[in-house]
Amino acid sequence: MNDISQTVANLDAWLETMRCPDGYGGPVVHWWQNCLSYAGAGLDWRYEGIISGYLTLWRRTGERQWLEKARRAGDDLVKGQLPSGNYRHSCFEQNPYAGGTPHEAAADLGLFNLALALRSEGIDRWERFAKTAECNLRGYFLDRLWDQEARVFRDSPDVPSLVPNKACTLVEALFACSELRQNDELIEHFALPTLCSALAIQMTAKGPLQGAIAQNQLRGVVVETYFPYYIARCVPALLNAYEYTNNMEWLDAAMQAGNFIHKHIDDHGRLPQVVYSKGINRYPQWIAPLGDTLRVLDLLIAYGNDFKKSEMESNLIQGQLPSGGFSTATGFASQIRQKNVDGRLPDFRDNIPVAGWCDKAFAYLAALVPEGQTLPPAHISDVSLECQVRGRSANWYETATEMKLISVDKTYYHWHKGEPWASFVAPEVMWK
């Protein structure tokens, strides 16, 4: 039996343990901030990868159960849509609020891809998913975030801004909607102008930053920070534009972005968190999110770029925990001082599996399952890992029913899976 098939089976089993009454839940750890208290369903970008992964498994195995799981995920979004068109709890690390970017656009992308798959099978329910995504797309992004004067999508209704990776996720959703409806208006009027603005803040001059796309532009000022992971999130939209226009400028921009990412992969298959004009913030280095970067490198390899990704793929696969989930990162303990802490206990955040990161691994790994092969039975077990909380030793535990962080004399965190809120969160784990 193929090892990837077992890896994917175990990850699917873990995702089932993360099901809450309204969808996939669990705590979130992130570079920006953490969301540990609210651990209920998050209707955010986790649904992009979950729906994609299950659709891929359906296509590769021919088994209807995976299509049903994709449809169940779509039902979560339909049921969680608010009258405004937004989705409940769609802000990921800022949950439980609504209106998250790029999270709602990523959810829309998942729904459009699901609708396309169901329509291809002649299943009538596809329209329900399409209408849900369109309601969000038009009621939130087009009506509230489109800046007609700048011809770009803002990241906030009240602030002239552009965050390329977020805008590019939205552009992907616009292309998917256009494919579904066979109407190019969304591409011509919204998607291509937005991509032009993103392209304007890509570094083109030869040098270490060539190909990098700035993290954001705020009130017309470019913020010169370059996150390899977020740059990877820009690439699929650039390739959409190339396929639509046949203009080599888009493909060249995508290739240059890929080259920038590729040259920053270290010998262990890891990427730095942030690249600046005069330095690098290396930590934390993502593990589960590498699935997104690997997926993007595969897209570019299909266009002829000879990227080497074996070390990164190995790093991702080795990040799977006995529970079936994947470690989020390595090096959270070094986030502030950026000093290597090899040999010390890992920060507790490193090994917390997060649905909205593991979905990235799921979407990528599902595509590696051999065609026609049935997944084996899952083999998952409880997790017990030594770690540290602000320099104090502790243990992280996960079972099918709970997650907890404890030391000999103290409980730091406790979440009963399925519950919307953690039952206990100590102040020590709330700070960045």
Q: How many domains does the chain have?
A: 1
Q: What is the mean pLDDT of residues 156-183?
A: 96
pLDDT tens-digit readout, 55-64: 999 999 999 9
Provide the H-helix boundaries in 226-369.
228-245, 248-263, 290-301, 310-318, 355-366
pLDDT cut 90: percent of the chain above it:
94
Q: Give residue 176's pLDDT.
A: 98
Q: Is the pLDDT of residue 24 over 80?
A: yes
pLDDT band at 286 (very low <50, low <70, confident <90, very high): very high
Q: Is the pLDDT of residue 343 over 80?
A: no
Is the CA virtual torsion 39, 41, 47, 50 positive or negative?
Answer: positive
Q: What is the mean pLDDT of residues 32-47?
A: 97
Is the CA virtual torsion 348, 318, 94, 340 positive or negative?
Answer: positive
Q: What is the mean pLDDT of residues 73-88?
A: 98
pTM of this structure:
0.97
Q: Give residue 1's pLDDT.
A: 44
Q: What is the mean pLDDT of residues 180-208?
A: 97
CATH number of residue 276's parent domain: 1.50.10.10
Nearby residues of 277 by Cβ (< 8 Å), 6 or more positions away: 209, 224
Q: What is the mean pLDDT of residues 249-276?
A: 96
Q: Return phi, psi of residue 415, to 5°.
A: -130, 125
Q: DSSP letter at 149?
A: T
Instruction: Work out the mean pLDDT of the chain and round it to a whole number.
Output: 96
Q: Residue 361 sits in which domain range? A: 3-430
- 358 CB neighbour count, 10 Å cutoff: 32
pLDDT tens-digit readout, 114-127: 999 999 999 989 99
Q: Give residue 403's pLDDT.
A: 98
Dihedral angle of Cα 124, 126, 132, 134, to the nearest 10 degrees: -110
Q: Give residue 306's pLDDT.
A: 86
